[in-house]
Structures are given as C-alpha cells and as structure tokens.
Amino acid sequence: MYYRVSNVLEQIDSIENLSESEDVLVVLTLEEWKETCKQNAIYTYYIDFENISFSKSEVYKDIIAGTFFIPKKGEECLNGKFGYYLKKHRIYFIDNDNIVLPIIEKISKQRQWKNPSIAHFLYDFLDILISEDLNYLEHFEKNINNLEDKVLDGDLRNFNYLIVSMKRQLLVLNNYYDQLIDMGLVFEEHEEDIFNNSYKGLFKIFTNKVSRLNSKVDTLMEYTRHLRDLYQAQADIRQNKTMQTLTVITAVFSPLTLIVGWYGMNFKYMPELTWRYGYFFVIALSLSVVGLGYYLIKKHFH
C-alpha cells in the first residue's frame, strides 16, 4: 500500500508518477519487499527482515534501515515485529504481522501537519507506537500494589511465580526501551542528512518520552525487589511464629515426659501403684502441670 505525506496522510494507488522529491511511505509484505528490491536494485543483505528479534537502526550511506520487535504488553496483546528502510522522501515498511497499517490509519485520521515531511510522519508513528505504554505500566504498578497487599495480609501463595513473571516482563520492557532510545538517537543524529524539512529536535522529544518510560520501568523493577524483601520478612515472621508455637508446646508438655518417665519405672514400693486414687491423682497432676506451664508462658510473652 502507498501513502503520500501531505498536510494529511493520503492513500494512493501507485508511486510511479510521483517525483523523487515527494514524501511517500510504502507498506509491503516480506515477499513484496524482495520483489521491490529486485526491480529497483535495492541491496539489503545487511538487514535480516526474516528473523527479527530486537529493535535497531543501522546507518548505511544515505539510508537508515532497521527492525522493530514489540514485546507483549498485557494478556490480550501479541508480540509484533516489522522492518523499515528509510531514505530521503521514502520510507518502506516490511510487515507480515499487520502492525504498521493500524498505526497508519490512526495517523491518517488524527494527525495533520503544517510542514509535512517524512520526519513528521515518522515521529507521529513512533509516538503512537508507545502512546499506550504509560497506561500499561500504571496497570502493571497496580498489580504490584495488589500483590504487596496480599503479602501484608499474610497470603504468600504463588508469590515466587508471580514476582518472577513480573520481573521477566519488566526486563523485556527495559531492553525494548533501551533499543528505542538507541533508535531515536540514530534518527536524531542523522536528522539533517536523511530527513527533509524536519523540525530540529523532533526525535529528541521521542527519545525523552521513551527515557521517561524506561525510568518508570526501572522504578517498578526496584519496587519488585523491595516486595521480595517484604515477602522474605513476612515469611520469616510466619516461621518465627511457627517456631514459637512449637517451643510453647514443647515447654508445656515437657514436664509430662518427666511424669511418664517417673511412673513408668514401676518400682515395687511406689505407693501410687496400690493407691485407689493413684490413677486420678496422676491425671490431675498432669493437667495442673500443663495449666501452670501455659499460664507462666502466657504471662511471660504478654
């Protein structure tokens, strides 16, 4: 699909009749891109558009080429990946995952430019690409808060699974934003060489936005570390309470062991053996010892 960048984004049928100075973007599948490369003698052996695993930008003479790898953000979202090939007045998107066209549709409906250019389009494209990320990170923070409340309430079930899953997601986002920052710096550095009529500092705005998102991710990662410390403290408290309970039980019933050992000797002249009330006497003695032990321990701990 072909689009001309004017005051608004216009879909066109072909670029054959357009001059080289008109700003145009083209969305192709991988197979269509390969065919375009053959027809126009475009050499892209240095960029692997078939096996995209991260976001990057590479500068080669008068072009910038690279890839986007968008991580999953939420249960309903999927990973997305696509490539791009950028030179003066032309930008090609190589997309088999249908990631680019919905963004272009948003731009065509929502954005207008006083000084249209490929640079302004690309900035808006990148801006929409991260537009929902802050909401996602805030939702992510709420999930961490909920997990913290559960830990404080003593609910430690599945904690390790949840916290490890969160840390992995944050690490992926951290790497993603680092790559976008590097990409923004490349665009910023070659703003005057590649882009025509671009507003100086346009991509610096994008880089700053991504840097703030990355700072938010760093804050959430630190939050998860504090949450793990809180979990360990709660687990230690629970363990201490368990040990305290076992200690109390041991302390209360230890005297009974002495009584059992004492009367288990069965000496011939033990008076309680022939006493009519000996059995009931030992029961009363045992209950008295347990009650006294419990009273003394309770008084000590309170």
Instruction: For helices 159-189 and 118-129, give the axis angle rounded to 10 degrees.
Output: 170
The dihedral through the CA atoms of 7, 11, 16, 20 has a sign that is positive
Mean of pLDDT values over 5-30 = 82
Give the pLDDT score at 302: 58
Whether residue 105 contacts residue 12, with contact meaning beta carbons closer than 8 Å, is answered with no
* Strand extents, DSSP E, the chain: 2-5, 9-12, 24-28, 56-60, 63-70, 80-87, 90-94
Q: Which CATH superfamily is domain 2-236 in?
A: Magnesium transport protein CorA, transmembrane region (1.20.58.340)
Domain boundaries, the chain: 2-236, 266-301
Give the integer Cα–Cα distance in Å for 133 and 138.
9
Mean of pLDDT values over 81-99 = 88
Mean of pLDDT values over 127-133 = 90
Give the integer Cα–Cα distance in Å for 199 and 178.
24
Residue 272 above 80 pLDDT?
A: no
Query: Residue 220 — very low, low, confident or very high, per pLDDT cuts 50/70/90?
Result: very high
Give the pLDDT score at 196: 62
Q: What are the pLDDT digits (tens) for 52-80?
A: 888 988 888 788 889 999 988 766 555 78
Residue 291 above 90 pLDDT?
A: no
Mean of pLDDT values over 116-140 = 89
